[in-house]
Structure 1
Amino acid sequence: MANLVLIGAPGAGKGTQAERLVRDHGLLHISTGDLLRRAIAAGTPLGQKAKAAVDDGKLVPDEVVIGLVNESLSQKTDAQGFILDGFPRTLEQATALEVLLEEMSEPLHHVIVFEIPIVSLADRIAQRAAQSRGSGADVRSDDNAEALSRRVDEFARATVALLPFYDQRNLVRRIDATQSIEDVATQIGSLFAK
């Protein structure tokens, strides 16, 4: 069992690797992006707040995200580890998560940082949007150059501030996210051998 946080800019490959970790290790995948998209689609009050922020390329308010994460973590089995994908994104969220996990007697094992140059992200986002269109699926409202630019700025400003917080707890594991999906998976898999 492992409890993980995945941190990386939009398009860095967190979702792809999370799917593999679920398949290979049976972890509960808590993607705040997925939680928020479901809340938005359902038109819940939290979903409406989230939609306004997502459409503007801004971070969703902490109270909305923390509530959704808390609800999801309460659904996991005792022996099941988890992946937090897209949360925490701010120091306030990281602090709230730490308190929540202490209350649940759940340790955090690794904070995996997906390192990738910002210039590579636009191509990945464009490819993801093209794949969605090609398969007949809806293209995410934030899969465009303008929203990406805002999201990367938010990531750089807010999320990078998390690294000292997790460095102090000796949890940060950096991986080279420019490599192939298989190579990135191998880097992450090596953490389970430790």
Structure 2
Amino acid sequence: MVNLVLLGPPGAGKGTQAERLVRDYGVLHISTGDLLRYAIKAETPLGRKAKAAVDEGRLVPDQVVVALVEERLIDKEPGQGFILDGFPRTVAQAGALEQLLQSMQVPLDHVILFDIPLSLLEERIAKRAEESRAAGAPPRSDDSPEVLKKRVEEFVRATAALSPFYEQNALLRRVDASEDIERVATQIRDFLELKPKPHQRQP
């Protein structure tokens, strides 16, 4: 069993690698974006709280997102590992996740950060949009240089403090996401073979 957090900007390849990890390790892929969309559509109690925030132009409260993640973790198969994708985004969320996992007596093994230059992200997004058009499908709404730049800036601003937070906990692993899919997968497999070191939270 392995429990992971994947961090990285849009287009870095997290989704591709998550699919491989699900296939190879049988872990549960938890996307907070998917959880929110489902809860809002299903009009669950948490979904209604999330929708109220979205309708008012506010960020979905951390406690709502954490509660959604908790529900999904409780529902997973006994002994099954997980991948968290899109969460946490801030140190406050990371602290809430730490408390949640401690209360569930579930360890977090690795936090994998996908390092990649902006110029390569732009190339990948442009290629993805071109492939969509060639297949007769409209490009994704976020497959544009302007939207990509904004999303990357948001990622950097929101998650910049997460790296030192997880480095302090001896959990952060960096992969060179500019490599091809197979080499990135190899880097991740190498990390998964490491036994996580015991760590002590610093005051």
- Give the structure-2-normalised TM-score: 0.81
Equivalent residue, structure 2, for 1:93: 93
In structure 2, runs of 5+ residues without a counterpart are 195-203
Equivalent pair of 1:50/1:61 in contact (CA under 8 Å):
no
Alpha-carbon spacing, 1:155–1:51, altered in 2? closer, same or farther (3 Å): farther
User: Match of 1:156?
Assistant: 156
Match of 2:146 in 1: 146
- Give the superposed CA RMSD: 2.6
Unaligned runs of 5+ in 1: none
Q: Distance in 2 between matches of 1:60 and 1:127?
A: 32
> Which residue of structure 1 lines up, in the alignment, with residue 21 of structure 2?
21
Deviates more, 1:11-20 or 1:29-38: 29-38
- 1:4 counterpart residue number: 4
Q: Which whole-Å CA distance do the structure 1 matches of 2:141 and 2:52 have between them?
A: 14
| Cα displacement string for residues 10-52 of structure 1 (whole angstroms, at most 9, x for unaligned residues) | 1111110000000000000001233234346557532564588
* Percent identity (aligned): 60
Hey, what does 2:115 align to over in structure 1?
115
Distance verdict in 2 for CA 1:41–1:138, change over 3 Å: farther
Query: Which shows bigger deviation, 125-134 or 164-173?
Result: 125-134
Deviates more, 1:146-155 or 1:99-108: 146-155
Which has the higher Rg, Structure 1 or Structure 2? Answer: 2
Q: How much has 1:125 moved relative to structure 2?
A: 2.4
- What are the superposed Cα offsets for residues 37-71 of structure 1, whole Å, 9 maximum, x if unpaired? 43465575325645886xxxx96543342232122
Give the secondary-structure state (helix, strand or coil) at the position aligned to 2:107: coil
Which AA in structure 1 matches 2:189? G
Matches of 1:49 and 1:134 in 2, distance apart?
A: 38
State how far apart, in whole Å, the 2-side matches of 1:133 and 1:139 are.
6
Query: In structure 2, what is the equivalent of residue 69 of structure 1?
Result: 69
Structure 1 pair 134/163, CA: closer, same or farther in 2 (3 Å)?
same
Partner of residue 124, structure 2: 124
The whole-number CA distance in structure 1 between the counterparts of 2:114 and 2:41 is 29
Cα separation, 1, equivalents of 2:39 and 2:153: 25
| Residues 50 and 64, structure 1, Cα contact 8 Å, conserved in 2 | no
